[in-house]
């Protein structure tokens, strides 16, 4: 994701790529960006006074330290989802941002998928009535935890996948979550030496009485025609909305297989298009033009507390109350 975000930064006439942070002195795959400095630490990067925005695209469990350091140094911070992997880390990031007065946002890129945006506009209509329930599924093939990310054993399907859906559903419902009961299955991946659940199933109750189910798995066989299967369904007292993104309007068949390619990272006319690129450009708008961020950081803190409650519930086998103080204000 870091390279995709860097392309957007370079394409925007208002910004330029000022540097990378990497443990490798010569990271692979960045030649396309030209002679850009590579720093060994975040502190080294922050010594460059030309740096105004820091994009944190580290593994999910490592978001806190670079985000806090950048905010305390007076830099605006765009953080890949989820904001953090504990409520305490999320609160620390929020405190640093508030203390410095900088802009910060979590890159929940699904907010920029047109179908989800249109669903929110529909649900915001007074005639839509009150939320009753939601069901969200986001399942990946085994390619993701076994080949795409080397740190799957430090994450889970709920942190890596349901974080998108928790953000969307809490945005749709516009109400805080109060209680979670979750279960998990550990079978395929632990048998491969990767200590993480295959699937997590969470039921969440909200303060206004609505309920939501979040299903996530990253153990789907790699022969499945798309890397990620995803839908969100919402029922209100006067609406039924279903957003299905398993097939993004494109199906391809060859002599060997049929598949549904993802289209969100497409380049058109030399520019990245799609939800993630739109989210990065929006944050540049926030910093340069002073527009309000579409995703307030306080909302992302509440999402983190809910995700932490899901983890605690499936590990304990008991319902868990969601931290009501998380992200207050």
pLDDT digits (tens, 9 = 90+) for 141-164: 999 999 999 999 999 999 999 999
Question: What is the mean pLDDT of the segment spanning 82-96?
Answer: 97
Average pLDDT over residues 198-206: 98
Whether residues 121 and 177 fall in one domain = yes
Which is more confidently placed, 270 or 318?
318
Tell me the average pLDDT of the chain. Answer: 94
pLDDT by residue (tens digit) across 98-155?
A: 999 999 999 999 999 999 999 999 999 999 999 999 999 999 999 999 999 999 999 9
Q: What is the CATH number of the domain that holds 217?
A: 3.30.360.10
* End position of a domain, from candidates 107, 125, 141: 107
**129 shares its domain with 259:** yes
pLDDT at position 329: 30
Domain-embedded: residue 295: no
Q: Answer whether residue 270 is part of any domain.
A: no
Rounded to whole angstroms, the Cα distance separating 38 from 35 reads: 9
Give the pLDDT confidence score for residue 305 in this predicted structure: 97
* The pLDDT value given to residue 28: 78
The yes-or-no verdict on residue 262 having pLDDT over 90 is: no
- Predicted confidence at residue 52, as pLDDT, reads 97
- Is residue 39 included in any domain, yes or no? yes
Domain-located, residue 216: yes
Q: Are residues 92 and 146 in the same domain?
A: no
| Mean pLDDT (whole number) for 83-106 | 97
What's the per-residue H, E or C state across the chain? CHHHHHHHHHHCCCCCCCCEECCCCCCCCCHHHCCCCEECCHHHHHCCCCCCEEEECCCHHHCHHHHHHHHHCCCEEEEECCCCCCHHHHHHHHHHHHHHCCCEEEECHHHHCHHHHHHHHHHCCHHHCCEEEEEEEEEEECHHHHHHCCCHHHCCHHHHHHHHHHHHHHHHHCCCEEEEEEEEECCHHHHCCCCCCCEEEEEEEECCCCEEEEEEEEEECCCCCCCEEEEEEEEECCCEEEEECCCCCCCEECCCCEECCCCCCCEECCEECCHHHHHHHHHHHHHHHCCCCCCCHHHHHHHHHHHHHHHHHHHHCCCEECCCCCCCC
Q: Is residue 313 part of a domain?
A: no
Q: Going by DSSP bridges, is the β-strand pair 211-220/228-236 parallel, antiparallel, or unpaired?
A: unpaired
State the pLDDT at residue 128.
97
Same domain, 101 and 191: no
Give the mean pLDDT of 313-323: 97
125 plus 229 within the same structural domain:
yes
Confidence bin at 328 (pLDDT 50/70/90): very low
pLDDT in tens, 36-71: 889 999 999 999 999 999 999 999 999 999 999 999
Q: Kindly state whether residues 57 and 132 are assigned to the same domain.
A: no
Question: What pLDDT is attached to residue 327?
Answer: 38
| Domain that residue 68 falls in | 2-107
Query: How distant, in Å, are the alpha carbons of 43, 72, 74, 112 from that of 95?
Result: 19, 10, 13, 27
CATH number at residue 21: 3.40.50.720
């Amino acid at each position: 994701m870091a390279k995709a975000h860097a392309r957007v930064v370079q394409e925007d006439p208002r910004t330029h790529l000022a540097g990378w942070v990497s443990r490798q002195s010569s990271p692979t795959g960045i030649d396309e960006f030209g002679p850009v400095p590579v720093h060994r630490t975040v502190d080294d990067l922050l010594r460059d006074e030309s740096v105004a925005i820091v994009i944190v695209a580290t593994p999910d469990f490592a978001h806190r330290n670079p985000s806090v350091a950048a905010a305390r140094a007076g830099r605006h911070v765009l953080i890949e989802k989820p904001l953090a992997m504990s409520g305490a880390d999320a609160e620390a990031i929020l405190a640093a941002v508030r203390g410095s007065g900088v802009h910060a946002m979590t890159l929940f890129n699904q907010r920029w998928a047109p179908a989800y945006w249109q669903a929110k506009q529909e649900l915001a209509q007074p005639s839509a009535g009150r939320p009753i329930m939601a069901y969200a599924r986001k399942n990946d093939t085994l390619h993701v935890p076994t080949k795409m990310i080397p740190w799957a054993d430090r994450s889970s399907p709920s942190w890596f996948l349901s974080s998108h859906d928790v953000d969307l559903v809490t945005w749709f419902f516009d109400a805080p979550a109060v209680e979670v009961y979750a279960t998990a299955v550990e079978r395929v991946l632990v048998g491969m030496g990767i200590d993480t659940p295959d699937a997590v199933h969470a039921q969440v109750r909200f303060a206004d009485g609505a309920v939501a189910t979040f299903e996530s798995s990253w153990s789907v066989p790699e022969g499945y025609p798309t890397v990620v299967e995803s839908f969100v369904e919402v029922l209100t007292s006067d609406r039924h909305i279903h957003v299905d993104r398993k097939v993004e309007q494109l199906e391809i068949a060859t002599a060997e297989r049929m598949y549904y390619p993802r289209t969100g990272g497409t380049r058109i006319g030399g520019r990245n298009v799609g939800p993630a690129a739109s989210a990065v450009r929006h944050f540049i708008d926030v910093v340069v033009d002073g527009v309000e961020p579409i995703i307030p950081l306080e909302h992302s803190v509440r999402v983190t507390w809910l995700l932490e409650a899901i983890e605690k519930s499936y590990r304990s086998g008991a319902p868990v109350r969601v931290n009501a103080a998380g992200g207050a204000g």
